[in-house]
Amino acid sequence: MSDANATDRRGFILNLWRSVFAAAGISAVGFSLWDRKGPVAAKRQTSKLQIASFAATGQNGKLAVARGSDRIRNIEAAIDALGGMAQFVQPGDKVLLKVNAAFATPPVLGATTHPDLVARTAALCFAAGAAQVAVTDNPINDPASCFELTGIGPAARKAGARLMLPRPDRFAFYSVKNGQLIRNWPVLGAPLVWADKVIGLAPVKDHHRSGASMTMKNWYGLLGGRRNIFHQQIHTIIAELAVMIRPTLVVLDGTWSMIANGPTGGAMDDLKATHTLIAGTDQVAVDSLGATLLGKSVKALVHLDLAERAGAGTTDYRSLNPVVVDA
Amino acid sequence: MKDAHSEKPASSPVQNRLSLLLLGLLVLIAAIVLWVQNRYEPARWREQADNPAPPSKSRLSLPDGVIPLSPTERYSGDNVSDKINGKADLYLSAGFKSLESRRFALAKDKSRWMERYVYHMDGLRSAFAVYSAQRRSDSRAVSITPYAYFSSNGLFMVHGPYYLEFIASEASDAMQTHLKALGEAFVREHPEPTGKIVELDLFVSDQRRPGSLKLIADSAFGIQGMDWVFTADYADEQNQATAFIAKRDDAVQARAIADAFIAFWNEYGAESVAAPDDLSMSRIAFILDNFEIAMVHHSYVFGVHEASSLEFGLKVVAQLMHAIEEAGR
Amino acid sequence: MVKIITTRRVTQIFFFLLFIWFCIVATLGQSWWQLRGWPVNWFLQLDPLVGLGVILATHTLYAGLLWGVATLVLTLFLGRFFCGWVCPMGALQQFVGYLGMRSLESRQRIERCQPHPAQRAKYWLLLFLLAAAAADLLAWLFGGFSRNPLGYLIAVAGLFILLRVMQSRQLIRFTKVTLLWIAAFFILGGVWQWWFAQYHWLSAALQTGLLDPLPFIHRAVNLVLLPVMDGTVHVTSAIPRFYAGSGLVGLLFLSVILLCLRIPRFYCRFVCPLGALLGLLSRWALWRIGKAEDRCRECRQCEAHCEGACAPSQRIRISECVLCLNCMDQCRHGLMGYYPHPSVVGEITEPDLNRRQVISAVVAGFAAVPILRVQGGLADGWKPQLIRPPGALGEKDFLSRCIKCGQCMRICPTNVIHAADWRCGMEGLWTPVLNFRIGTSGCQHNCVACSQICPTAALRPITVDERMGRNAFADSGPLRTGMAFVDRGRCLPWAMDTPCIVCQENCPVSPKAIFTRTEFRTIRNGSVKVGRIEANRITIEGPDLPSGRLGSGDYFVSWEGGRAVPVQSNTADTLILRTDPYIQTQPEIGTDLLIAVRLQQPYIDPVRCIGCGVCEHECPVRGQRAVRITAENETRHPQRRMIIR
């Protein structure tokens, strides 16, 4: 009897320890995860993204205009007039081409950056020693089909550039300094962080809401989220975009310009052979000059004025002494 | 709980002791729950009327047979619309300070109850303004204070800076008695100087509609700037007109009001009418088949609004002029 | 001498009455029978399944849910005391089961209290529900590989070695292959999570509340029992309260209770996931029911009232025993007792489950939520009619916390919070949704009672200041639950030529979020000719006028060269204009008259509107209201913002 008693007692004590340890474990987990106050208001997404200035040193306020009907010759002539791509791209640089691939429309409609321009610019970058060239945009229609149908995707691949599609994980929250609209807004940041140099490639387009869509409006394709609410204040957002991105170079392709029914167009009739390509480091000046292709005055495009006052550049493009060349 | 090897089953004394222990535990739980329920912060759940009224004022010596039914609710300008919703603007524009409301019931029958609203306004004129702006049509004068009347189920009165409403759950003589008792109790509790509003005496009582004296705190007749204007309705068999008087700091300000008044009607297409000789200083506008007349005497601006005939309107204006001159002496 | 069985009954009655009392006093107010400081969530907080679910889904344990730890700790020492002594759902079932067995013979009673293989179903349900809640946790664990690949691999290796050691010490009964599977599971999961980082392929939802007995009985009492009772006695509410979506709750509850007439503690035995959780723990309980000596006469009387159907006369199924102690009371030989050692005839400590069932239930749980999420209810397919109470978290976080207990619906002073049905997404069944057609007003914007009562902070605790955007919250502005839209096809002044500004008048926001623009519109058949004139009385030629309807002050007559004159009254063929003996311009016989109505048409100011629904509640178009709230612009989802502010 006493043996059994002893075994029992030992068993009980063992069990007691087990229960005590388990209870302590449960209590420890409970207390360590204890949250006395509950969740607070949905956290404001903080801006972690930093966007550097991509401006090449010593190239401020450069502006060149190439006149000709051949887009490829135009870009070559314009870059030449600026002193060659080597002024902007150093050997080993990673170059990001921000194209306008907003719509899944064929290149002939001029609603998107022309693939020839993309291919040629990429080739110039490589020739200047760029290690890698990437092409990106966050289009309005489905990204994959936009890049394919606009011809930009195939052209980029052929030139050896890679596509950076707007995948969800490539966006980060960003606030423009002193901005009113781009406050903790998702921005296609990964390509910007990756790149050493950024070149904007935009067609000249009429725009129903903003009057014109040129190189400044082209940065709109870096915004994510429900960006269409910004159409409520279209000029302000364009000016903030111009502050957000300090590009190495912008190229405004007015070889053909969409002068009506923008920004989508849809018919050849909407295009006009303006036979002009503008390249420069001052996006406000480039767009101010581009406005003349649409027959619009600088004053009519409020965002140019706003961008100038925000310090993104000058609307007085003549003061930059643009180099005009015939291609 | 029990030695494992006892010959007998868990014996009754053990069960008894354990039971008593557990029942004691239940009593303890009940006690803790009862103690916990005392800790209550109602404001955490739903906004409360501000601080409860200071005890000295809330300790009202109630008339016989009336008992409090609910605690006092207090409202400030920020939340008075929670209590009176759309009417809040009326009070806010007239100088609202606070509202206290409380329900009382008959001790014999709690289904017969009354609610007392005490609107604390900026002063006598403020209180009179809200009092006069919402005068009930079925009113019957009562002499608790100079400005007080009964409706079929309510008592409305001004006492110093207070405008009071007492609303009963039913219309009956018995309830009116209790309303009156409540009103008198309030007056006793609040020995305010029973000030008089001098402008009201300027409205001659002849042909004046009873109960039509009003003080409009903000934009009388919809006209910007016509603030703190007294009005009264006059009528004979065929004619009617609304007389108005406002006192300003000086004649220049009074003149500005008269100008604004006439300009307002002109803007809406009024035709100007020549003033008669005996009231040559008056200005007359004719619009929508009514006459609008304004005049200035010293720092008073006065006149009539919507006079259905020029003759009657001028008669009322002359009366006002006379009363103002009398008062000035 | 007090028998322990009596004490158990007294305890059950005590807790049941306390539970009912808490349900009654969950009424906003300060009377002794109203809210005061009663700990009305105490039973939900004691329920460890609520706390465990919230931990799995959110990695935190909100405030009072810490009580669940106490229940678990006590269970480790005493067994399933909660089921047999505290749980009001258990007490109710036990009482109904007693009624059902009253007239039976002992043999029949024993038969009804035998273990049934289907009792394992509750463990499946438990595992399924916990797995569904734990997916985020799993994703977080897998994410360790992306954060620190080396550390992750070391941890997996460590786990493998630990399990291997435990296996060799025979502490666990895994085969070597199983161990390899576990290691492979974590490595593959980690790699998968790293490779497909941008896709949230694992997502969690807390659905324990569907079956958890305490949310269940709270829901039934709050949404069905009290409103039904109170419809006649009017204790907690002067006006009958209604709850959309409560029908299914009531019928399920009724079915469960009625089933207990046939099978005692039906729910506890077959369904209850809380019982399953406590059953899994009770195998380690220090004290347990069993026989002290093996001299049993096999009379089986101990099983005649066995609430848990745990067969105490044989090898007792410890995980099923709810500590009703009826076996102790029934045994005429004093053999049954509550001992700190196992029954001398042995016991079955584990539930009747095999590995395949466990894995199936867990995998199904992990898979169920992503399957539901494919419907897009948390993405672009969000339901605009799903308007949550003001403190609600974003939908994903909300679904990780809400246990569908209905406390918010009970406390709401205006009866505007209702239980959602399937249409708001299957995951959202019985979660709170605002229904402005029912109730005494819209959502009062000075009230935050629902967010204060919420036991799991699915409605996070907000203050009136935060709700109204005052003081410290002046910058962030008021909390918006949605936004009002005017349906111009139904709105009286917009579509029916009928003056109405009820929504504008009732808008509680200051300055008002609803404003009006005035329009004069010729009424139907309002173009007539003057036939005859006597003073201000005009007999018209043309279609009949709506008799007596034009004297409301909103109708005016105008003609070329004349001013608009208000109509005083009318008959089918005469118009009486406002009295005016001085009328100067008069229409002549044969003049065309236009009869116009003055309409104040409502507009919504999207910056001011907070979506409180007072306008929708008051709208005189009583069916589908002409002004309705949808979830656009709600604060809890910043991405649903409609306008730049």
The pLDDT tens digits for A67-109 are 999 999 999 999 999 999 999 999 999 999 999 998 888 888 8
What's the gap between Cα C518 and its chain centre? Answer: 43
Q: Name the 3-class secondary structure at B160.
A: coil
Interface residue B4 vs chain A (CB under 8 A): yes
What does the alpha-carbon distance between residue C448 and residue B46 come to, in Å, rounded to a whole number?
Answer: 6
Q: How far is A206 from chain C (nearest CA, A)?
A: 25
Q: Is a pLDDT exceeding 60 seen at residue C107? A: yes
Q: B289, B290, B292: best mutation site toward chain C, by most C Cβ within 10 Å?
A: B289
Contact at CB, A1 and B4, closer than 8 angstroms:
no
Q: In terms of CA atoms, which chain B residue is nearest residue A2? A: B5
Q: List CB contacts of C405: < 8 A, sequence separation 6 or more.
A: C44, C209, C214, C215, C218, C219, C222, C455
What does the alpha-carbon distance between residue A153 and residue A123 come to, in Å, rounded to a whole number?
Answer: 15
Give the pLDDT confidence of C511-553 residue by residue, as tens digits. 889 999 989 999 998 999 998 888 778 899 888 888 888 888 7
Structure tokens given for C600 = 């104040």
Q: Is a pLDDT exceeding 80 seen at residue C20? A: yes
Interface subset of C 486-525, CB within 8 angstroms of B? 505-506, 508, 510
* Residues B188/B207, Cβ–Cβ less than 8 Å: no
For chains A and C, count residue pairs whose Cβ atoms are closer than 8 Å: 85
**What per-residue confidence (pLDDT) applies to C10?**
96
Mean pLDDT of chain B: 81
Peptide bond into A263 cis (omega under 30): yes
From B241, B245, B148, B259, select the one nearest B194 (Cα to Cα).
Answer: B148
| DSSP letters for C282-338 | HTT-SSEEEESSS------GGGTT-TT---TTSSEEGGG-----HHHHH-TTS-EEE
Peptide bond into C511 cis (omega under 30): yes
**What per-residue confidence (pLDDT) applies to B8?**
45
Q: Which chain A residues contact residue B5 at CB under 8 A?
A: 1, 4-5, 8
Q: What percent of chain C has pLDDT over 70?
A: 98
**Low pLDDT (below 70) residues in chain B:** 1-11, 49-61, 82, 85-86, 137, 193-195, 280, 329
Phi, psi angle pair for C459, to nearest 5°: -100, 105
What does the alpha-carbon distance between residue A91 and residue B93 come to, in Å, rounded to a whole number?
Answer: 74
Interface residue B289 vs chain C (CB under 8 A): yes
Name the E strands within A11-79. Answer: 34-35, 63-67
Q: Name the 3-class secondary structure at B140.
A: strand
- Residue A33, number of CB atoms within 10 A of its CB: 17
> pLDDT: is B145 or C261 the higher one?
C261
pTM over 0.95: no
Q: Is a pLDDT exceeding 70 seen at residue A228? A: yes
Q: Is a pLDDT exceeding 50 seen at residue C306? A: yes
Measure the N-to-C terminal CA separation of chain C; round to a whole number of Å: 74
Q: Any idea which residue has 């009002």 for tokens? A: C484
> pLDDT: is C169 or C363 the higher one?
C363
Contact at CB, B4 and A8, closer than 8 angstroms:
yes
Q: B3, B5, B44: best mutation site toward chain A, by most A Cβ within 10 Å?
A: B5
What does the alpha-carbon distance between residue C555 and residue C565 come to, in Å, rounded to a whole number?
Answer: 9
From C14, C16, C5, C26, select the one nearest C407 (Cα to Cα).
Answer: C26
**What per-residue confidence (pLDDT) applies to B329?**
67
Mean pLDDT of chain C: 90
**What per-residue confidence (pLDDT) applies to C234?**
73
Phi, psi angle pair for C144, to nearest 5°: -55, -35
A143-157, C81-95, C281-295, C565-579: which has the highest mean pLDDT? Answer: C81-95
Q: Name the 3-class secondary structure at C372.
A: helix
Mean pLDDT of chain A: 88
Contact at CB, B46 and C510, closer than 8 angstroms:
no
Q: Is a pLDDT exceeding 70 seen at residue A4? A: no
Burial class for A21, CB neighbours closer than 10 Å (0-12, 13-18, 19+): exposed
**What per-residue confidence (pLDDT) applies to A94?**
94
**What per-residue confidence (pLDDT) applies to B85?**
65
Q: Which chain C residues contact residue A43 at CB under 8 A?
A: none
Q: List CB contacts of C632: < 8 A, sequence separation 6 or more.
A: C384, C482, C483, C485, C640, C642
**What per-residue confidence (pLDDT) applies to B86?**
62
Measure the N-to-C terminal CA separation of chain B; round to a whole number of Å: 103
Q: What percent of chain A has pLDDT over 90?
A: 51
What is the average per-residue pLDDT within A135-144? 87
Q: C41, C54, C60, C635: best mutation site toward chain A, by most A Cβ within 10 Å?
A: C60
* Residues C645/A230, Cβ–Cβ less than 8 Å: no
Q: Is a pLDDT exceeding 50 seen at residue C84? A: yes
From C594, C563, C597, select the one nearest C580 (Cα to Cα).
Answer: C563
**What per-residue confidence (pLDDT) applies to B317?**
87
**What per-residue confidence (pLDDT) applies to B3?**
40
Q: C11, C78, C291, C614: best mutation site toward chain B, by most B Cβ within 10 Å?
A: C11
Amino acid at C519: E
What does the alpha-carbon distance between residue A24 and residue A28 come to, in Å, rounded to a whole number?
Answer: 6
Q: Which chain C residues contact residue A39 at CB under 8 A?
A: 393, 397, 457, 460
Q: How far is A307 from chain C (nearest CA, A)?
A: 20
A24-38, B32-46, C224-238: which has the highest mean pLDDT? Answer: A24-38
C4, C334, C446 member nearest B82 (Cβ): C446
Q: Which chain C residues contact residue A18 at CB under 8 A?
A: 284
Confidence of residue C141 (pLDDT cuts 50, 70, 90): confident
What does the alpha-carbon distance between residue C84 and residue C75 come to, in Å, rounded to a whole number?
Answer: 12
Q: Which chain A residues contact residue C51 at CB under 8 A?
A: 30
What does the alpha-carbon distance between residue A39 and residue C515 come to, in Å, rounded to a whole number?
Answer: 36
What's the gap between Cα C424 and its chain centre? Answer: 12
Q: Name the least confident of A133-137, B307-311, C77-81, C277-281.
A: B307-311
Contact at CB, B289 and C584, closer than 8 angstroms:
yes
Q: How far is A61 from chain C (nearest CA, A)?
A: 34
Confidence of residue A2 (pLDDT cuts 50, 70, 90): low
**What per-residue confidence (pLDDT) applies to B6?**
41
Interface residue B46 vs chain A (CB under 8 A): no
What is the average per-residue pLDDT within C461-485? 90
Structure tokens given for C343 = 């029954």
Host H or E run for residue C556? strand C555-558
Q: How far is B27 from chain A (nearest CA, A)?
A: 26
Q: Name the least confident of A23-27, A141-145, C113-117, C385-389.
A: A141-145
**What per-residue confidence (pLDDT) applies to C400?**
93
Q: In terms of CA atoms, which chain B residue is nearest residue C454? A: B45
Q: Which chain C residues contact residue A12 at CB under 8 A?
A: 286, 340-341
Burial class for B26, CB neighbours closer than 10 Å (0-12, 13-18, 19+): middle
**What per-residue confidence (pLDDT) applies to A46?**
62
- Residue B89, number of CB atoms within 10 A of its CB: 14
